[in-house]
Amino acid sequence: MEFEQKWKTFLEELIDPQFVDVSSLKVQKTLQPDLWDGRTLKPEIVDALYEIAKEFFETLKLDPNIRMLDVTLTGSLATYNWSDYSDADLHILIDFNLLKEREMAEDYFKQKIQNWNRTHKILVKDFEVEIYIQDSNEPHHANGIYSIMQDQWIKEPSRYQEEIDYEMIQKKAAGLMEQIDNIYESYAEKDYKIALQSAEGLMERIKKYRRAGLSTQGINSIENLVFKILRRNDYIKKLISLKILAYDNLMSVNGAY
């Protein structure tokens, strides 16, 4: 299994904090030049992103009264913190107060988004597009937010970057990476129940950890930057894969597949 083959390499050595690459967090001198003309999003990028959002929104088949209030580009590609790892984070804003069954609708959105992101790999200037549905009534923590529908900034990014403790980020990221490696050890030993429980618990802790940082210190919080390092090094993807594989093996009648 390709997933297991990759993991053997990771288990051969411990995660040393000094080798955790944080270079992708460095601030850039300009906005991403393939997308931006100075501080203005290029017209062909605006048109492409709007078309992607519109087509996805139509697949939701929502009540006609619920419409796209805006489509925004946010995340690192709307800031000076972009890198080759960046995704085009495309947010579709709707009024969640108009949803009849909000909790059920949110689960529906998650499933549609996961399925869309899993089955499509749409690139804009070599950056993969990630779709999100955002409640227009809730604040969004971001350094830069650009309205695709209005073709203007909602929040302009700043090149100013607070002093970041890169050594702390490396240590915390390395610690979480090691925990994920430990979960794989349980999986490799066919202790699927422990692997599943550990993967679910760690995923929830990482989510809370990141939310806490965003709510108190914003996108440059240690917690959010640690999450970015985990994601850019594929450790979030690995944790999700472990969770799925452990569950599937636990539920399989004939044991491991």
Could you read off the pLDDT of 14-34 as tens digits, one per residue?
Answer: 455 566 777 667 788 899 999
The CA distance from 190 to 227, in Å, is: 28
Q: Inform me whether the pLDDT recorded for 195 exceeds 80.
A: yes
| Higher-scoring residue by pLDDT: 18, 110 | 110
What are the Cα distances from residue 7, in Å, to 71, 190, 235, 241? 38, 15, 11, 11
* CA angle (31, 161, 132) in 5-degree steps: 55
Predicted local confidence at residue 17, as pLDDT: 59
Predicted local confidence at residue 176, as pLDDT: 92
| Higher-scoring residue by pLDDT: 159, 1 | 159
Q: Provide the token pair at 250.
A: 């636990």
Q: What is 29-95 written as a DSSP string?
A: SSS-TTTEETTEE-HHHHHHHHHHHHHHHHHH---TT----EEEEESGGGSS---TT--EEEEEEE-
The CA distance from 156 to 146, in Å, is: 8
Could you read off the pLDDT of 214-256 as tens digits, one per residue?
Answer: 777 777 788 888 998 898 888 998 999 999 999 999 998 665 4
- Mean local confidence (pLDDT), 149-178: 85
Q: What is the mean pLDDT of the chain?
A: 85
Q: What is 149-174 written as a DSSP string?
A: TTTEEEE---S------HHHHHHHHH
Confidence grade of residue 166 (pLDDT, cut at 50, 70, 90): confident
Q: Note the CATH number of domain 36-155.
A: 3.30.460
> Where in the chain do CATH 3.30.460 domains reside?
36-155
Could you read off the pLDDT of 47-75 as tens digits, one per residue?
Answer: 999 999 999 999 999 888 899 999 999 98
Predicted local confidence at residue 206, as pLDDT: 92
- Mean local confidence (pLDDT), 181-197: 92
Q: Of the ranges 113-117, 133-137, 159-163, which is most confident?
A: 133-137
